[in-house]
Structure 1
Amino acid sequence: MKSTTPAIINDVDIAICGAGPAGQALALLLHKQGIAADRIALFDGKTSAEAEQDARTIALSAGSQQILEMAGSWPVKATPINEIHVSRRGHFGRSLINADDYAVPALGYVARYGDIIAPMQKEILRVGIRIHRPLLVSGLDEANDHVRINLHNPVTGDHSSMSANVVVQAEGGTFSDQSARTRRHDYQQTAIIAHVTSDQPLPHRAFERFTEQGPLALLPQENGYALVWCVRPDVADTLSAADDVSFKQALQKAFGNRIGQLQQISARVSYPLGLNVQTHATARTVSIGNAAQTLHPVAGQGLNLGLRDTFVLARCLSRHAHQLDHPAAILEAFIRQRQADRGITIHLTDTLARVFASTPDGSLTQSPLGLGLSVVDICNPARDVLAGHMMYGWR
């Protein structure tokens, strides 16, 4: 009599490496769409308290808000963006995008990372999905019928493992901490992050200002603005070493007086900027968010692109839940469906970043931007395309 080898039953169907916004949103969307809570597992090196205390500022698009609402993790403590003002310093040309023109409550929202995570973790706990913390993924061993996730506890030093049908890499980190992927470029730019206040704030208006050094964004947040100022590394060193008065003077000169005189400046942090992309899948593993594509922050598309990844991947996996023991075709379909949105968004941010990072101040290659802003402002179809992509991506 011919013997048969029984099929392996893995510990979970879907293991998600990284319990940030993209990883947790994916887990919640999978559960909402029919995957049992005990067949999903998340791993993260941070404790839940550490995640909720993270004060980084995140710009969420209108589309991201909808995804978080579908995941059951909205409302989030956030400041709505009702207008976006885009301009180029010292040159003619600007564009103003208004939420009223698109019949949406807001174009986007500004929130702290911890405030996004808190309602997610509450919903994760409520539905019974397990987040294994603090555990670092030390390696993956992919076989024909499973992926073994090798785990390390940074507190106790213990090692363990778990098997899954599908592994999703959702732990991206920052550009300087990542190993090189198939497409990588160092922009030789640094982002300076801080919180600022002014004496004439314009409530719910976000500013994206293109300077000779790179984009400068002021996003409405609480009683002031979240600052993301992209400059070349030598300038970043000078600005980081400057006292608050000198820093305010430099920022005022770069931004102008649209919100009056700058007043208080919080502690500043900075990090280098680059492009790092690898969007393919294997037969059982796939990457989303920063783990697939780390972008320049111009236009604020990083997390928003990642959340669009989660929406499509959850749909692909849940629609074919009965085939998760052979997921290769499902993951290939996900890559195909994300190709256009990923490609357009990566190309857009990469082009803008290179224009300012690799050309001398005032170069002719920067000049078409001002003309482009003028065209966008007077041409409704062009403005609609720009606004649609910023809110929802390419669909």
Structure 2
Amino acid sequence: MSATDGTIDKDTVQADVAICGAGPVGMALAALMARRGIEGRRIVLVDARALGQAIADPRSIALSWGSRMLLDDVGAWPAVAGAATPIHDIHVSRRGHLGRSLMDRAEHGLDALGYVARYGDVVDALARACEAAGVQVLRPARVAALEEKPDGVLLQLDDGRRIDAQVAVQAEGGVFGSQEERAQRRDYAQTAIIARVSSSAAIPHRAFERFTDEGPLALLPQDGADGHQYALVWCVHPDRAQRLLDLGADDFLRALGEAFGERLGSFTRVSERVAFPLGLNADARFTRRTVAIGNAAQTLHPVAGQGLNLGLRDAAVLARLLARSLDRDAGPDAIAQFAAERERDRGAVIRITDTMARVFANKGPLQPLFGLGLAALDTFKPARMLLAELMMFGRR
């Protein structure tokens, strides 16, 4: 049984924190604040989708070891763990060039470097955690207007209700291409094709990041009813993406095999394919009473799977700071401190993912050097471990 939607029928909802967006980042923030002492009834979540719609979402998401620890902290991980596939090692290579790097869990003394889970399973587990904490939930509902006052914020919903809160958090980011342009923006001229695929020689618990001339091709292990499968994220030029979407299953699998190579044998099965445009769209803007986190603050290229994990770290820091401040109406101080604390981690991850998306995905005379760089990374253990720890825990 899934967590049920909360129902609030008062005209004006009183709260300490209003969170716009009840995806994994927004719900993690609510659950973490409750865990740190803010009464659940003083937190309100607003989302445009019914909970059942979100739980039915079949997308795959990559969770770092640090994100697993965060979900465990609010009691959501046990419900996710049974359906999540551990990543034991990550193979990174450049198509057509020598050199590769392999990151392994044994170097870090961990059960896994990360996990692959279904989006809906993570949402369901976090919804249960929020329900157990007594968090107020308004869905389906949209924020039609927001008025910032000296002592708080007033949110007007599209159904006529209002929320009166000390601070408002924007956690609903959407995808690149449908967002308002932010201060730091780059269109990568790439489209991500998303699907699940099976292969004839799967390597259990190994993830692959394969750089091609058009963009990275990631295969993340995700076991299902049919055995070992992979969540595919294939980044290509937009015109080629449409041609690939139009292919029949057999022709698509052949094209995938040509792009990836033979490390997993031949690809034998593919699910329904969907696609979305890729770009960087980031801005750490905030006001005295409002702040953005997750995709609402930084939408990244999916290379290295850092978007959600960065957003969850946003939630962890903001929850800690707000829990210390709301009883003395110091929300503005907490927001300013949050912006300062998150600057290094956000900046580092944005720079790394932006560089990888642009540099590794282009033809040119320097490409052989990148292959040598991967080989050097594989040889020089401290650099390899530093990169892996950044991906798992962020810049600390």
TM-score between both structures, scaled by the size of structure 2: 0.93
Aligned to 1:373: 374
Q: Return the offset for 1:328.
A: 1.7
Q: Is the 8 A contact 2:18 2:169 kept in 1?
A: yes
Q: Is the 8 A contact 2:20 2:47 kept in 1?
A: yes
Q: Return the offset for 1:364.
A: 2.5
Question: How many residue pairs align between the two structures?
Answer: 378
Residue-by-residue CA offset, 1:133-171 (whole Å, 9 max, x unaligned)? 11111121111111111111xxxxx32211110101000
Relative to 1, partners in 2 of residues 1:368 and 1:322: Cα closer, same or farther, differing over 3 Å?
Answer: farther
For residue 62 of structure 1, the aligned residue among 57, 62, 65 is: 65
For residue 275 of structure 1, the aligned residue among 280, 304, 308 is: 280
AA in 2 matched with 1:102: H
Indicate whether 1:346 and 2:350 are aligned. Answer: yes
Q: Return the offset for 1:356.
A: 4.8
Indicate whether 1:315 and 2:320 are aligned. Answer: yes
Aligned to 2:171: 170
Relative to 1, partners in 2 of residues 1:10 and 1:136: Cα closer, same or farther, differing over 3 Å?
Answer: closer
For residue 22 of structure 2, the aligned residue among 16, 19, 24 is: 19
SS at match of 1:175: coil
Residue-by-residue CA offset, 1:86-127 (whole Å, 9 max, x unaligned)? 011111110001111111110000011001011111121122
> Whole-Å Cα distance in 1 between the matches of residues 162 and 358 of structure 2?
42
Indicate whether 1:304 and 2:305 are aligned. Answer: no
Q: Return the offset for 1:365.
A: 4.3
> Whole-Å Cα distance in 2 between the matches of residues 147 and 198 of structure 1?
52
Aligned to 2:125: 119
Aligned to 1:5: none
SS at match of 1:177: coil
Q: Is the 8 A contact 1:10 1:146 kept in 2?
A: no
Aligned to 1:138: 144
> Whole-Å Cα distance in 2 between the matches of residues 10 and 283 of structure 1?
21
> Whole-Å Cα distance in 2 between the matches of residues 79 and 16 of structure 1?
30
Indicate whether 1:32 and 2:35 are aligned. Answer: yes
> Whole-Å Cα distance in 1 between the matches of residues 39 and 86 of structure 2?
34
Residue-by-residue CA offset, 1:307-340 (whole Å, 9 max, x unaligned)? 00011111111122323x2422211110111000
**Any stretches of 5+ residues in structure 1 without a counterpart?**
1-8, 153-157
Q: Return the offset for 1:181.
A: 1.2
> Whole-Å Cα distance in 2 between the matches of residues 126 and 343 of structure 1?
35
TM-score between both structures, scaled by the size of structure 1: 0.93
AA in 2 matched with 1:343: G
> Whole-Å Cα distance in 1 between the matches of residues 110 and 306 of structure 2?
19
**Any stretches of 5+ residues in structure 2 without a counterpart?**
1-11
Aligned to 2:364: 363
SS at match of 2:161: strand
Residue-by-residue CA offset, 1:148-205 (whole Å, 9 max, x unaligned)? 11111xxxxx322111101010001111211111111111100000100011110000
Aligned-pair identity (%): 52
Q: Is the 8 A contact 1:139 1:150 kept in 2?
A: yes
Aligned to 1:89: 95
